[in-house]
Structures are given as C-alpha cells and as structure tokens.
Amino acid sequence: MKAPLIAICRHRMATDGQGVTTLVAFHGCPLSCRYCLNPQCTDTDGVWQRMDAEEILQTVAVDDLYFQATGGGVTFGGGEPLLHSDTIADFCQRCPPQWNITVETSLNVPTDQLAKVAPYVSHYLVDIKDMNPDIYRRYTLRDNRQVAENLQWLASNVGPQHVTVRLPQIPGYNTPDDIAASRCQLEALGFSHFNVFDYIAPKAEKKAASNLKQLLDLRSRFGKVAIIVAASAGLLGTPAYGQNRKATKSVAAKKGVKPTRPEMVIGRTGGVPRNDTQTKARAFNIPYRPGESNKENRVYDVVEEMPNFPGGTATLMEFVKNEMNYPEAAKKKNVQGRVIVTFIVEKDGRVTNAKVAKSLDPLLDAEALRIVGKMPRWNPGRQNGVAVRVKYTIPVTFRLP
Ligand code: SF4
C-alpha cells in the first residue's frame, strides 16, 4: 500500500537520533496544533509523493554506508507517522537490521498502531505538548487520553529508556510550572529522558521564516557548511527530496545562483570526486589530516569497501540467532530489546575491541559481547584496494517468544 509523504530529508546530524539519519516525513496528522510548523502535513495539497515500503527503502538505501558507519538510520516523522504503521513495519522487515529506526510521534493514535512498529523501533521521540488535558485540548483541539494510555503502554512494553519525551513551552498555553507538573507525571511512569524547549512565539514566526530563507540561500551557495549550521540548529535537514527542495531552488533562482543538487552534497563537496577520502571526512565532519591514511593503525569509520561477514548480512543474523543463549534471569525479568555493539574488523578480518555502545541490561550486554567474540573472521574493509582497520556497529536483538 502506498503512503503519502511530504518529504525525504537526507544527511541529518544531531537532530533526531544518533549518527547520520534520513527523515521520512508522512502526510497526515490527527492534531490541529495552534503553531504547527509543518502545515503541509494537513494541507490537501501537501502530498509530495506516494510510496510503498519497498520504494521508500530503495530511495533511502543510497545512504546505507553512512547509516552503518555512524550507527544512524531512518527516522519516521511527519505529520503523524504512526498513522502509517503498516508501511513502517513493512519497511523495517525489509531494511538492514543494522539501521536504527526512530519514530517521532504525538502518540495520539490507537495503541495497536503503536504495537505494530514496536518490534522494530530503537527509539521514540514523543512530543506530548502538555500532560494537562485542558492545555492539550486548547492547543491541539483533541483530548489526550490516548496519549496517556500509549505512554503507559510504552513504559510497560518497550521500556522508558527507549523514549525521549519532548516537553515544549508553548507561548500562551503553558508555563514552566505546567511543564514541571507534566514532567512529574512522566517520571512517575518511569520516563527519565526529557527534552524541554521553547516553541517559537507567534511574533517570532516571521523572523523564523526569514532565518530559514537565509539558511536555504546559504546552503545553495555554500552547500554543506550551511547544512551543518541548520542541522545543529535543528531547523532543517538536507532536503534530498520533497518540498524543501523546491524552496532551495526558488531562492537560488532569485539570486541567480545555480543551486547545489541536494543529492550531490554528500560525496561531492566543491566538485571533488565521490571516492576522495578528504571529501568523505568532510561529509561526516570527521577531522581530515593529510597523510593520516598512511598510518598503519588508523581505524576508519568509512572506507570504499566496507568489511562484511562471510556469507553476507543474512548469514550474520543467522549466526547471531544460532549463537544466542538468552540468559534465564533476563527471561524471568522479561527483558528484551536491542544491544548495540561496536567493534573493529582488523586487516586480517579478526573482530577486536568489542564494546557496548547502547546498553539494554547487564546480562544481555554480556551475552551480546560473547556472541560478537565468537564471530569468525570477516572479509576486511578496503581503502584504495588495501585492507584497513574499520570500526563496525551491529545490533544484537533479544526477543522473547
Ligand atoms: S502534531 Fe506536528 S504536524 Fe501535527 S498539527 Fe501538531 S505540529 Fe502540526
């Protein structure tokens, strides 16, 4: 089934999840927020394209290397992505298991929509607006009973550690005391990751629009530099596709500047060829030091030919499944989820320096490290045809029947 999208934004950093992420933004939202910053989500003309899970996968897979090298992946947002849970679940069954999947949601959807994606999602970014039902209703024109139910469901079934709750201060609607009261209720449910921030006040909206236009102009002239500024300000990602791309084009056209093709931003900075090491270092904001590539012991994050498990990804997942001894104590506690492990694939294919990058439970962390320690030699990564040391990240997923 094809789902309506408003945009696919590539190469986001430090905005919504670890590593390099691509935002897949869906059309449609059950809320009517007073200060909606994505009005195209509910506009009848707001749909950019309709795609099914396979088409979305084919589109975002161009950044597979970057996702795997940085521990990034795909963030589903919108609008309300959980209105399209079937598409998201279908996508997650097709995508490489190494990709981290994040969902940005208001949680104002039926719980079964949430449950459909739960087996695949690494992290949830939940914008609750405010826990006070009156404030919520005034601001969104909906009630928040479903949000409260879904928060409870997440706390019980997924674990509060996989959830970041956004607590906005909304001008004219709530106060710091209201936010403190919301936080108190959420802490009682076990949540501890919060992101408190200010929504843009109505008077500031015009200024923000002007700032955004300036950023788009900067990006069309300076490419990545402007994108990094914008991304770290949380204002925009690289609009590879969708409506922001049109905005880039129109601003550039007015200035008489040839716009940078967004899909060329990573891998081609200033006309340098795609495979150039310096370009890749810039693209990932990794300091580039001339001559460093000659150092024998350098550990690379990204190389031309990434290391791979003998037999490929499917064999790797089979290996992990066959080796896994689910600790009895963890079974009794009903602990399940993903442990993210990083390690180095040496020049001769040995796996060394395994570490837990994202912990789940001490017992399951230890089991994940044990499994990684039993891996056979990999096919090493190569740079300029020469075997090099490469850092690699995999998720080890623990699921109870
Ligand atoms: S939840 Fe987001 S997209 Fe939906 S109306 Fe509110 S601000 Fe707009």
Q: Is 106 in the pocket of ligand 1 (CB under 6 A)?
A: yes
Q: Where are the beta strands (DSSP E) in 203-328?
A: 238-242, 299-300
Residue 21, CA distances (Å) to 76, 118, 171, 284 in order:
10, 19, 30, 12
Q: Is 41 in the pocket of ligand 1 (CB under 6 A)?
A: yes
Domain boundaries along the sequence of the chain = 3-199, 262-293, 298-398
Contact 144, 136 (CB under 8 A): yes
- From the CA of 108, give the closest atom in ligand 1: 1
* CATH T-level topology, domain 298-398: TolA/TonB C-terminal domain (3.30.2420)
Which residue's CA is the nearest one to ligand 1's atom 3?
A: 79
The answer to which of 8-17, 107-116, 227-236, 301-310 has the lowest mean pLDDT is 227-236
* CATH T-level topology, domain 3-199: TIM Barrel (3.20.20)
- pLDDT > 90 in the chain, percent: 52
Give the pLDDT confidence score for residue 70 in this predicted structure.
Answer: 84
The answer to which of 25-34, 153-162, 300-309, 316-325 has the lowest mean pLDDT is 300-309
Domain 3-199 matches domain 298-398 at the CATH topology level: no
The answer to which of 11-15, 208-212, 244-248 has the lowest mean pLDDT is 244-248
Q: Is 79 in the pocket of ligand 1 (CB under 6 A)?
A: yes
CA–CA distance, 331 with 334 (Å, rounded to integer)? 5
DSSP state of 129: S
| Residue 126 in this model has a pLDDT that exceeds 60 | yes
Residue in 31, 109, 141 to alter for ligand 1 test, most ligand atoms within 8 A of Cβ? 31
Q: Would you tell me how many other CB atoms lie within 10 Å of the CB of residue 59?
A: 18
Which residues, including other chains, have CB under 8 Å from residue 49's CB and lie 6 or more apart? 4, 5, 241, 242
208: tokens are 């923000």
Q: What is the largest CA-CA distance in the chain?
A: 66
> What one-letter code names the amino acid at 360?
L
- pLDDT > 70 in the chain, percent: 75
| Residue 146 in this model has a pLDDT that exceeds 50 | yes
Q: Would you tell me how many other CB atoms lie within 10 Å of the CB of residue 373?
A: 13
Q: Is 40 in the pocket of ligand 1 (CB under 6 A)?
A: no
Give the pLDDT confidence score for residue 11 in this predicted structure.
Answer: 81
Give the pLDDT confidence score for residue 167 in this predicted structure.
Answer: 95
**3-state SS string for 148-194:** HHHHHHHHHHCCHHHEEEEEEECCCCCCHHHHHHHHHHHHHCCCCCE
Question: Over the chain, what is the mean pLDDT?
Answer: 78
Q: Is 108 in the pocket of ligand 1 (CB under 6 A)?
A: no
Cis peptide before 71 (omega within 30 of 0): no
**Vertex 150, ends 149 and 155: CA angle to 5°?**
105
pLDDT band at 277 (very low <50, low <70, confident <90, very high): very low
Handedness of CA 57, 58, 63, 65 (dihedral sign): positive
Contact 128, 147 (CB under 8 A): yes
- From the CA of 29, give the closest atom in ligand 1: 4
Residue 33 CA to ligand 1 center (angstroms) comes to 5
Contact 179, 127 (CB under 8 A): no
Which residue's CA is the nearest one to ligand 1's atom 7?
A: 36
Question: Strand 299-300 and strand 386-398: pairing?
Answer: parallel
| Residue 357 in this model has a pLDDT that exceeds 70 | yes
